[in-house]
């Protein structure tokens, strides 16, 4: 009897086992939750770093090309000359001296916001003519294209107009309709970039060529620099700059 009593006192009751298992389950849940939160925080940090790097690269390209806009003359179907710059909320086309291909020549640059999935595509074409610029579609792709940015929800371009009145940001810019002017600045607004703390990211870029010339702050080319009168629009013509 004494041995049986000692054996009974040395075991665990059902209540003690249930309490022990419950405590073990709680500790396991807490450890798993902490581990899961740590993994998610690390993943969000990696996404933020990648998004910031891609945004910085895309911004550097846009800033360099917008600041190097050349007030290049184009001709419309009525043979009227104007400074070539076409912009909408989702696209932008101009002539730049800072092409990614290098070489120091002029390049027709087109930025387009594509859907499904949303992405910003930049295309360049070093072959263009004065007449073709004013007649071919603005969104005509160039010879070299690249996706500068993706993964965002929306992207919009805006253009600063200023001529003796209050500054005005516009969502459209047509060089032929804007009294032969370039915008004073270009603004890029991006929504929904994963990993960034702000919902809307923006960058204002001054158009350096807009500080040249005399009227309206826009730069104008001399008549001799307006381009060739050749009617050929083939890519073999090359840029009509001297």
Supply the pTM of this predicted model: 0.68
C-alpha to C-alpha distance for 64 and 59, rounded to whole angstroms: 8
Give 97's contacts (C-beta < 8 A, 6+ positions apart): 68, 70, 104, 105, 106, 107
Residue 153 has what DSSP assignment? S
- pLDDT at site 82: 84
Q: Does residue 135 carry a pLDDT above 70? A: no
Do 124 and 100 meet the contact criterion of CB atoms below 8 Å apart? yes
Q: Does residue 230 carry a pLDDT above 50? A: no
**Confidence band of 103 (pLDDT split at 50, 70, 90):** low
Closest C-alpha among 90, 130, 129 to residue 110: 90
- Residue with the bigger pLDDT between 6 and 63: it is 63
**Confidence band of 192 (pLDDT split at 50, 70, 90):** confident
CA–CA distance from 117 to each of 21, 90, 154, 157, 242 (Å)? 49, 14, 10, 18, 41
C-alpha to C-alpha distance for 93 and 139, rounded to whole angstroms: 8
- pLDDT at site 231: 41
Please state, rounded to an integer, the average pLDDT across all residues of the chain.
76
Q: What is the mean pLDDT of residues 210-237?
A: 40
pLDDT digits (tens, 9 = 90+) for 203-215: 999 998 765 443 3
- pLDDT at site 88: 92
**Confidence band of 51 (pLDDT split at 50, 70, 90):** confident
- pLDDT at site 120: 93
- pLDDT at site 220: 38
pLDDT digits (tens, 9 = 90+) for 78-101: 777 888 898 999 999 999 988 887
Closest C-alpha among 71, 66, 70, 84 to residue 135: 84
Start-to-end CA distance of the chain, whole Å, equals: 116
Beta strands in 28-136, from DSSP E residues, in sequence order = 73-75, 81-83, 85-87, 91-96, 107-114, 119-125
């Amino acid at each position: 009897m004494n041995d049986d009593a000692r054996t009974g006192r040395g075991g665990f009751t059902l209540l003690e086992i249930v309490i022990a298992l419950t405590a073990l389950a709680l500790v396991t849940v807490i450890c798993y939750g902490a581990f899961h939160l740590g993994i998610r925080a690390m993943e969000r940090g990696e996404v933020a770093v990648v998004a910031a790097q891609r945004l910085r690269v895309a911004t550097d390209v846009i800033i360099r090309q917008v600041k190097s806009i050349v007030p290049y003359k184009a001709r419309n179907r009525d043979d009227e000359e104007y400074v070539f710059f076409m912009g909408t909320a989702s696209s932008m086309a101009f002539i730049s001296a800072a092409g990614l291909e290098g070489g120091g020549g002029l390049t027709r640059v087109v930025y387009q916001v594509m859907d499904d999935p949303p992405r910003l595509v930049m295309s360049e074409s070093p072959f263009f003519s004065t007449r073709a610029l004013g007649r071919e579609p603005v969104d005509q792709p160039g010879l070299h294209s690249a996706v500068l940015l993706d993964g965002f929800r929306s992207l919009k371009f805006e253009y600063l107009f200023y001529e003796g009145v209050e500054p005005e940001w516009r969502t459209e810019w047509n060089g032929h309709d804007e009294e032969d002017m370039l915008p004073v600045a270009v603004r890029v607004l991006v929504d929904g970039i994963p990993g960034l703390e702000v919902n809307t990211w923006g960058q204002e870029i001054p158009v350096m060529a807009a500080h040249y010339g005399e009227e309206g702050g826009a730069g104008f080319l001399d008549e001799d620099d307006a381009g060739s009168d050749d009617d050929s629009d083939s890519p073999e013509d090359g840029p009509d700059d001297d």
